């Protein structure tokens, strides 16, 4: 015995009722030893089994998860489900330890819809994957596909469970396969919690949308391995944080924290159909479908009458907001390539995908990032029966060495193909610029548009102002020749060579400006396109919502939501 008075601390109340029970911790609340026969014993065992997945980790592990400011999988489910509903937990005790094998699969009610849900339980073996839970996950995914339920994944896994050996890898492979097979059948939303590497990243990216909170990492492998094999010193956040993935588009949405991620998932889900033979959730609206869009009129007047005239950038999301029911919309990939805006909104209650050139960012040019962003979004709408409204205002694809080396040809092609493949109702509204290849690629009639409309400010042309070189080729050559003649004349009449040249240059600049003006007046307008039937109608700015709603309703009433049945093309 030590001579000093050492007290052994405890967190149990020795004076409480039933305090003789040595385990007052909630983990063992079900273990109270009541009397009774074998029947009672089996009931008690049943209760214990039901509780086991919730309590298996023990307080210390749960505390560790909480110390990282992360919720347990059960707490996450609790937040996601509709209040007052009970999730149906599937394969509750699957696994040798009867603890659910570190992954929870369930059917939960969200916004009164049944949703298939899985979440790793990080407090049990760090949410790692083995053969057992790989199959368990695959079963849930297959169930979602078979029943036509949207899938939500809450990924929080350290990766394959190493002691499980190849079993863990097989587990992943089975889940990969299941998820790929439901891709295009039911949509999925993947929340990225914690620290997911390898298969833990690939699997969720097979899903439709990824949502990543701050202070999380996912990627091929973590900074430790990177340091070992490449000698690169990099933090987890720099390697695979939301800043990185939000910019590359690997994460569709980045948020502040887990709560933000789950709320964003709920919000996104409110626009998604359950499967590929349904429409997105229709929501009757109190916003009149013929509400005048006077604000679009004001916006354009203000922009185009400003000192920079028709070259003034416009934030297209303001037009988007005027079109949507009550101005509400949900933007995807808002952290990147905002020269194009992809958003879900509702028009007359119908879910619509919007694909809009945004001249407020990088002139609304279509670069590699914008093209892939669009193509990905359009393909999603195509698979899930979501009509698409395109809004065009771009001077074209962005040229240059940087873009070519990054593969703008392939990226632009991907966008073009996704538009050609689009089978859902698809409208085009031209706001201003629609030049050259961008016009041809961006949902014109020839690539399959259902209806093409144009604001009076539309400028459809083969080229921007540089097109004057082709249109007025002869006249320009004559003008330039006469400039040479002017120099000679001036020198003959006694002017110095440099004076003569300067005068002639000034004259030429004037003439070029006049050609520019003429080109803009004669060719940068909707008239030729109208005369060729490339544009169906001119829509006045105050009438944009009404015109779009009318056409959308027409084409939707002749469209049956069903799975896409099409030949597989060579490229995505």
Partner 1 sequence: MGSSDLYLNNPMTHRDRRLGESESDWVRSFSCEDMSILIVCRGPIRQEALDTFAEMGITKTGILLSEKDSIVYPRALAPELRRLDPSRVHAVADYTGATKEDRNARIAQIIQIARENGYEYVFAGYGFMAEDEEFVRSIEEAGLGFVGPGSRTVQAAGFKDEAKRTAERVDVSVTPGINDATGRLLLRKYGDRAALKSVASKNGLEVEELGDQSISMDIVADAVLNASYRAGIDLYTIDELAEQIQLEVESILETHPGSRIRLKAIGGGGGKGQRIVSLADQAPPMVREILGEVKTLGVGDNKNIIVELNIETTRHNEIQLLGNGEWCVSLGGRDCSLQMHEQKLLEVSITQEALGEAVDRERQAGNDGHATAIGEDLTILRRMEEEAERFGQEVELDSASTFECIVDGARHYFMEVNTRIQVEHRVSELCYSLRFRNPNDSEDYFDVTSVVEAMALLAKHKVRLPRPERIRRDPAAVEARLNATDQSLSPHAGGEIMFWSDPIEGEIRDDQGICFKNPDTGLFMRYKLAGAYDSNIALLVTTGDDRRASYEQLREVLRQTVLRGPDLQTNLQFHYGLVSWFLGNSVDAKPTTRFVVPYLTLVGELLDEANHIDVDYAYQGLCRRYLEAATGDPKAAKSTSEVAQLKATLLGRPLRRLLREPHLLSAWLSVHRKDFEVTNGRVTWHRNPLSLLTDTYLLLHMEATLDAPAAHRIWEQDQFVLDEGEAFYSAVTARVGDLPWPELDALLRGEAPATGFEAEEWRSVREAHFGFQLGTELLRLLPLLAEKVGFYDLRVNADLTITIPERLLDADHQTVMKKILVPPPVNRGDEIVSISGGMYYAQEAPGMPRFIAEGQHFDIGDPLYVVEVMKMFNKVYAPFSGTIDEILVEGDGLIIKKGQPLFKISPDEVAVVESPEEVRKRMRQRTLVFLAAINLEQN
Q: Which is nearer to partner 1, 124 or 164 (CB)?
A: 124
Alpha-carbon span 263 to 280, nearest angstrom: 19
Q: How far is the CB of 198 from partner 1 (least distance, A)?
A: 27
CA dihedral of residues 266, 270, 275, 276 (deg, nearest 10): -130
Q: How far is the CB of 378 from partner 1 (least distance, A)?
A: 22
Q: How far is the CB of 12 from partner 1 (least distance, A)?
A: 6
CA distances from 10 to 7, 24, 145, 149 (A): 9, 11, 50, 48
Alpha helix ranges (H) inside 459-496: 468-471, 473-492
Q: Which is nearer to partner 1, 400 or 437 (CB)?
A: 400
Q: Which is nearer to partner 1, 171 or 194 (CB)?
A: 194
CA end-to-end span of the chain: 76
Q: Which is nearer to partner 1, 177 or 516 (CB)?
A: 516
Q: How far is the CB of 25 from partner 1 (least distance, A)?
A: 7
Alpha-carbon span 348 to 323, nearest angstrom: 10
Q: How far is the CB of 320 from partner 1 (least distance, A)?
A: 8
Q: Which is nearer to partner 1, 3 or 492 (CB)?
A: 3
Q: How far is the CB of 278 from partner 1 (least distance, A)?
A: 18
Alpha-carbon span 431 to 357, nearest angstrom: 9
Q: How far is the CB of 510 from partner 1 (least distance, A)?
A: 16
CA dihedral of residues 56, 60, 61, 66 (deg, nearest 10): 120
Residues 436/460, Cβ–Cβ less than 8 Å: no
Residue partners of 529: CB distance under 8 A and separation at least 6: 454, 458, 460, 535
With 0-12 / 13-18 / 19 or more C-beta atoms within 10 angstroms meaning exposed / middle / buried, residue 383 is buried
Q: Which is nearer to partner 1, 138 or 524 (CB)?
A: 524
Alpha-carbon span 221 to 199, nearest angstrom: 10
Q: Catalogue the E-assigned strands of 246-304.
A: 253-255
Cα atoms in the Cβ-side hemisphere of radius 13 Å centred on 443: 32
Q: How far is the CB of 209 from partner 1 (least distance, A)?
A: 17
Cα atoms in the Cβ-side hemisphere of radius 13 Å centred on 98: 8
Q: Which is nearer to partner 1, 393 or 421 (CB)?
A: 393
Q: Which is nearer to partner 1, 97 or 321 (CB)?
A: 321
């Amino acid at each position: 015995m030590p001579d000093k008075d050492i007290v052994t601390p405890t967190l149990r109340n020795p004076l409480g009722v039933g305090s003789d029970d040595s385990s007052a911790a909630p983990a063992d609340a079900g273990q109270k030893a009541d009397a009774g026969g074998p029947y009672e014993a089996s009931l008690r065992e049943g209760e214990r089994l039901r509780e086991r997945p919730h309590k298996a980790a023990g307080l210390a592990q749960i505390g560790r998860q909480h110390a990282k400011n992360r919720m347990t999988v059960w707490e996450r489910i609790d937040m996601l489900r509709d209040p007052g509903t009970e999730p149906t937990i599937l394969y509750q005790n699957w696994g040798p330890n009867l603890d659910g094998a570190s992954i929870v699969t369930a059917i939960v009610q969200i916004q009164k819809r049944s949703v298939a849900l899985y979440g790793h339980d990080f407090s049990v073996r760090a949410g790692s994957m083995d053969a057992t839970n790989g199959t368990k996950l695959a079963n849930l995914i297959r169930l979602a596909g078979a029943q036509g339920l949207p899938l939500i994944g809450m990924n929080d896994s350290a990766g394959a469970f190493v002691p499980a050996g190849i079993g863990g890898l097989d587990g992943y492979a089975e889940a990969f396969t299941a998820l790929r097979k439901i891709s295009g059948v039911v949509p999925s939303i993947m929340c990225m919690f914690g620290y997911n590497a390898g298969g833990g990243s690939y699997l969720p990216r097979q899903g439709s949308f990824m949502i990543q909170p701050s202070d999380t990492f996912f990627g091929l492998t973590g900074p430790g391995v990177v340091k070992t094999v490449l000698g690169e010193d990099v933090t987890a956040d720099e390697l695979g944080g939301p800043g990185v993935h939000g910019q590359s588009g690997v994460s569709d949405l980045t948020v502040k924290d887990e709560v933000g991620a789950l709320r964003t998932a709920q919000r996104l889900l409110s626009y998604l159909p359950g499967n590929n033979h349904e429409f997105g959730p229709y929501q009757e609206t109190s916003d009149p479908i013929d509400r005048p869009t006077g604000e679009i009129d004001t916006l354009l007047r203000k922009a185009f009458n400003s000192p920079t005239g028709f070259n003034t950038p416009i934030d297209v999301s303001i037009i988007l907001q005027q079109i949507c029911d009550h101005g509400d919309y949900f933007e995807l990939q808002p952290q990147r390539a905002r020269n194009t805006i992809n958003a879900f909104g509702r028009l007359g209650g119908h879910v619509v995908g919007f694909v809009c050139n945004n001249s407020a960012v990088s002139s609304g040019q279509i670069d590699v990032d914008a093209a892939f962003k669009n193509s990905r979004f359009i393909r999603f709408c195509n698979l899930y029966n979501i009509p698409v409204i395109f809004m065009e205002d771009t001077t074209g694809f962005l040229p240059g060495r940087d873009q070519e080396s990054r593969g703008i040809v392939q990226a632009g092609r991907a966008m073009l193909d996704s538009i050609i493949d689009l089978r859902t109702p698809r409208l085009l509204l031209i706001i201003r610029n629609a030049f050259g290849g961008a016009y041809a690629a961006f949902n014109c009639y020839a690539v399959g548009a259902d209806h093409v409309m144009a604001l009076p400010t539309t400028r459809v042309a083969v080229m921007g102002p540089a097109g004057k070189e082709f249109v007025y080729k002869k006249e320009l050559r004559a003008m330039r020749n006469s400039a040479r003649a002017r120099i000679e004349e001036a020198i003959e009449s006694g002017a110095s060579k440099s004076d003569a040249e300067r005068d002639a240059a000034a004259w030429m600049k004037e003439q070029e400006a006049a050609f520019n003006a003429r080109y803009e007046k004669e060719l940068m307008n909707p008239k030729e396109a109208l005369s060729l039937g490339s544009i169906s109608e001119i829509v006045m700015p105050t009438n944009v919502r009404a015109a779009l709603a009318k056409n959308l309703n027409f084409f939707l009433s002749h469209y049956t939501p069903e799975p896409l049945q099409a030949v597989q093309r060579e490229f995505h």
